[in-house]
């Protein structure tokens, strides 16, 4: 009985974690990024107001020294900092997934 319950619980947790990390759509992310392009270049590493984001996911570290990965980029989008506003309550989770997918194409 315990074995069946353990297997069932593992299946539920796996399904839940998969749903919470839905894949982003880069094409939609490009549209959402239009808001970001006021301060960030997508086609260059040159600064506007914020850093240029071309090749972001090819770098080892973000400007703040943290590793470049989905979680840290999402945290930066959510929390902002150094003049960047927080987008935690402005963009939906799906829009953030989409922007991250788009940034990976740069």
pLDDT of 24-59, one tens digit each? Answer: 999 999 999 999 999 999 999 999 999 999 999 999
pTM score = 0.78
- How many domains does the chain divide into? 1
pLDDT tens, residue by residue, 88-102: 999 999 999 999 999
1 falls within a domain: no
86, 79 contact by CB (below 8 A):
yes
Distance CA 32, CA 76 (A): 16
The domain that holds 95 is classified in CATH as 1.10.760.10
8 falls within a domain: no
Largest CA distance in the chain: 61
Considering only residues 22 and 105, tell me which one the structure prediction assigns the higher pLDDT: 105
Q: What is the DSSP letter of 54?
A: T
* Boundaries of domain holding 29: 23-103
75 falls within a domain: yes
Q: Return the SS3 of 41.
A: coil
Q: What is the pLDDT, as a whole number, of residue 18?
A: 41
Task: Look over the chain and give the mean of its residue pLDDT values, rounded to a whole number.
Answer: 88
9 falls within a domain: no
Share of residues in the chain with pLDDT > 90 (%): 78
């Amino acid at each position: 009985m315990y074995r069946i319950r353990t297997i069932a619980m593992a299946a539920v947790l796996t399904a839940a974690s998969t749903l919470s990390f839905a894949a982003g759509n880069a094409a939609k992310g490009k549209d959402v990024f239009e808001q970001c392009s006021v301060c960030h270049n997508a086609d260059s590493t040159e600064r506007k107001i914020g850093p240029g984001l071309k090749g972001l996911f090819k770098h080892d570290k973000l400007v703040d020294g943290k590793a470049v990965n989905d979680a840290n980029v999402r945290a930066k989008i959510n929390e902002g900092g150094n003049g960047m506003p927080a987008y935690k309550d402005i963009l939906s989770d799906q829009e953030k997934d989409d922007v991250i997918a788009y940034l990976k194409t740069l």
